[in-house]
């Protein structure tokens, strides 16, 4: 077999270095160490900004963790995944999936398609009208949420789970924020967005005040007086201006304003060549939208795209009907291979006809006699040394009719200037409490512009901290690995197998007692399990079950707003979940039972079996040979002192 096809090699050719002597202490096949079962966080979960228990709900999909009697596995998985994130159908479509980048299966072949399974469950939940339960009791506490975007909506969700009521103050006429105004509808279908937003609002106890701007229509002092705490989810809704001369030209606009004008239905065509500056996902969305809405050669002054984007007019349907393919260039100062954009979004705009011009640094917006931008002056740069080196004397101009800058975002703090740290953001501590403002908490792009899932993760931590504040308790420290961990104790309790009460009196012979979980240690709050702790040789090559992607060519892109990814079938979703290697948690493969030469490792009785408690060890038989640890695919077995 060719080495490239091997899934695992414990030793490489010419490898003669021994492990540390204090790591493996075995004489004649025996040692004083016996197996213990150690739960660690998988890297998919550690890489997820909202802390999804990815391994947990994939275990449900694959049938390892059984749902309660009479419940479909999709509903059980939906319940587990929405403990961390209430938007599964949205995230399954648009999240760039850092969880997949961290997946240990990349060491074997290709990552598990976490996004695709999440989309399947999210769509199933929507089609079957799954709802969120209302809180069992109301606390009587009221929280003001400033901003109805992903962070604000997630905060409302997590607050309602704890029984706190809240009021969302949104300056626009609808909630949704970036999910609504910043991401095109072909990436998040509006019926999907509306359903997942309304599912949160239907929990009750959430008042929404749209067209109400804090700082103008209501003051911070009024909120502090009326509410027990305030959550700031104001986002970073304004694009940063290009830091070059001439960028103040009216037809030099920011990417956020461009996308908002499109998503509100005002911008329906462009004219001339459009230059998009940047290499992030916002730049990709702008370029993709520009190709879709197309170009009109003869255009009236009032219908210039910048007038529409700035809110001075609206395109009419008659003129939009005369569109042709738009000439769209993406200009990036680094090599395009270094762009932070999601890979498939970059590949998509290239196939849709966007021209990529890389390693070009913008120098100046060249203005015409009318004060509008007529070209962008750029200079080629070289990055081979790791630093940007300008190629002096090679400057040139790119003619254009519009420049869209997508190089960063900032917040709008008009009327709430006291919250601005001077950089268009809000300063916070690790608990997401606003610095020097007790009772004020923050999350989302107001902290640092990043992913939707990051905003939701912020909201979860902020609400946990806020809950302590509302209950006059000290805000707890944030654990090293701050995610939604699997809890064996909770799993046992859910199956009526929880430990008995302990009176804390001194007792001998605790190995027979039922007030503790034996032979198990939970290190998930502090450790992420790496691939070198797994037995990768257990896993065969299994091709990923990809979602069908609608490929759009440059000839087909005009007015093509079809959703890009088609969801998996149930069969494919289960097959993809089965590729999960369950890193850091037993997945019941029986290797340790089959290979133990002393028959010391045994399966627990069915009435004691739950996820994470499949095998146990008879220490009277165990000789510490390490074989069970070596053949454990998931790294769940650790050799410890008897």
Where are the domains positioned within the chain?
A: 1-8+17-40+487-523+584-642, 43-130+541-579, 142-237+411-470, 241-408
**How far is Cα 360 from Cα 329, in angstroms, rounded to an integer?**
12
Spell out a b/e string for 203-237, using b for 16 or more CB atoms within 10 Å of the CB, else e: bebbebbeebbbbeebebeebeeebbbbbbbbbbb
**How far is Cα 319 from Cα 310, in angstroms, rounded to an integer?**
19
Q: How many CB atoms lie within 10 A of CB 103?
A: 26
Q: What is the pLDDT of residue 301?
A: 65
**Residues for the chain: how many in total?**
642
Nearest by Cα to 156 from 200, 216, 91: 200
Please state which of the four CATH numbers 3.90.650.10, 3.30.2230.10, 3.40.50.1820, 3.50.50.60 is assigned to the domain occupying 241-408: 3.50.50.60
To the question of pTM greater than 0.85 for the whole model, the response is yes
Tell me if 1-8+17-40+487-523+584-642 shares its fold with 142-237+411-470: no
Q: What is the pLDDT of residue 111?
A: 96
Find the Cα–Cα–Cα–Cα dihedral 465, 469, 475, 478, rounded to 10°: 0
CATH says 1-8+17-40+487-523+584-642 is which class? alpha beta
All residue ranges of the chain with pLDDT < 70 are 1-11, 18-28, 297-303, 308, 310-323, 509-512, 641-642
Q: Any idea which fold 142-237+411-470 has?
A: FAD/NAD(P)-binding domain (3.50.50)
Residue with tokens 């090679």: 394
The fourth-level CATH superfamily of domain 43-130+541-579 is: Alpha-helical ferredoxin (1.10.1060.10)
**How far is Cα 400 from Cα 329, in angstroms, rounded to an integer?**
9
């Amino acid at each position: 077999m060719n080495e490239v096809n091997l899934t695992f090699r414990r030793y490489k050719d010419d490898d003669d270095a021994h492990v540390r002597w204090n790591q493996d202490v075995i004489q004649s096949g025996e040692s004083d160490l016996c197996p213990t079962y150690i739960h660690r966080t998988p890297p998919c979960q550690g890489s997820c900004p909202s802390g999804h228990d990815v391994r947990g709900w994939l275990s449900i999909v694959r049938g390892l963790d059984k749902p309660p009697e009479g419940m479909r596995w999709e509903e059980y998985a939906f319940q587990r995944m929405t403990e961390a994130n209430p938007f599964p159908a949205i995230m399954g479509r648009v999240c760039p999936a850092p969880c997949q980048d961290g997946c240990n299966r990349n060491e074997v072949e290709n990552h598990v398609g976490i996004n695709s399974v999440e989309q399947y469950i999210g769509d199933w939940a929507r089609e079957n009208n799954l709802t969120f339960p209302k809180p069992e009791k109301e606390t009587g506490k009221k929280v003001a949420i400033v901003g109805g975007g992903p962070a604000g909506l997630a905060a409302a969700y997590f607050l309602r789970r704890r029984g706190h009521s809240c009021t969302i103050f949104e300056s626009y006429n609808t909630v949704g924020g970036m999910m609504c105004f910043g991401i095109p509808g072909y990436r998040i279908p509006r019926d999907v967005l509306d359903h997942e937003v309304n599912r949160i609002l239907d929990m009750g106890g959430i008042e929404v005040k749209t067209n109400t701007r804090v700082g103008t229509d209501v003051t911070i002092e009024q909120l502090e007086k009326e509410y027990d705490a305030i959550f700031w989810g104001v986002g970073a809704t304004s694009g940063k201006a290009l830091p070059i001369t001439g960028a103040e030209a009216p037809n030099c606009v920011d990417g956020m304003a461009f996308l908002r004008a499109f998503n509100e239905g005002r911008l329906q065509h462009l004219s001339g060549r459009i230059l998009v500056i940047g290499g992030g996902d916002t730049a990709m969305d702008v370029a993709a939208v520009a190709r879709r809405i197309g170009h009109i050669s003869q255009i009236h002054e009032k219908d210039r795209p910048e007038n529409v984007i700035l809110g001075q007019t609206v395109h009419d349907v008659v003129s939009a009907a005369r569109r042709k393919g738009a000439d769209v260039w993406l200009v990036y100062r680094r090599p395009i291979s270094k762009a932070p954009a999601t890979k498939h979004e970059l590949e998509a705009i290239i196939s849709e006809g966007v021209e990529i011009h890389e390693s070009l640094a913008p120098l100046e917006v060249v203005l015409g006699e009318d004060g509008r931008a007529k070209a962008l002056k750029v200079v080629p740069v070289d990055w081979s040394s790791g630093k940007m080196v300008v190629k002096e004397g090679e400057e040139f101009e790119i003619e254009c009719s519009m420049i869209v800058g997508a190089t960063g975002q900032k917040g709008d703090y008009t009327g709430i200037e006291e919250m601005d740290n001077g950089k268009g953001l809000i300063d916070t501590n690790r608990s997401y409490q606003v610095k020097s403002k007790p009772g004020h908490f923050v999350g989302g792009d107001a902290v640092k512009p990043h992913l939707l899932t990051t905003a939701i993760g912020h909201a979860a931590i902020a609400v946990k901290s806020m809950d302590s504040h509302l209950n006059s308790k000290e805000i707890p420290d944030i654990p090293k690995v701050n995610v939604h961990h699997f809890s064996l104790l909770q799993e046992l309790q859910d199956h009526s197998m929880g430990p008995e009460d302990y009176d804390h009196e001194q007792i001998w012979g605790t190995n027979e007692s039922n007030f503790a979980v034996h032979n198990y240690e939970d290190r998930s709050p502090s450790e992420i399990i790496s691939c070198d702790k797994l037995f990768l040789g257990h896993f065969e090559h299994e091709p990923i079950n990809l979602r069908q992607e609608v490929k759009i060519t440059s000839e087909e892109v005009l007015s093509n707003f079809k959703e890009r990814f088609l969801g998996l079938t149930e069969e494919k979703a289960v097959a993809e979940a089965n590729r999960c290697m369950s890193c850091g948690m037993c997945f019941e493969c029986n290797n340790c039972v089959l290979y133990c030469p002393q028959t010391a490792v045994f399966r627990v009785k069915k009435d004691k079996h739950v996820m994470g408690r499949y095998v146990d060890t008879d220490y009277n038989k165990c000789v510490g040979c390490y074989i069970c640890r070596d053949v454990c695919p998931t790294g769940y077995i650790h050799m410890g002192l008897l």
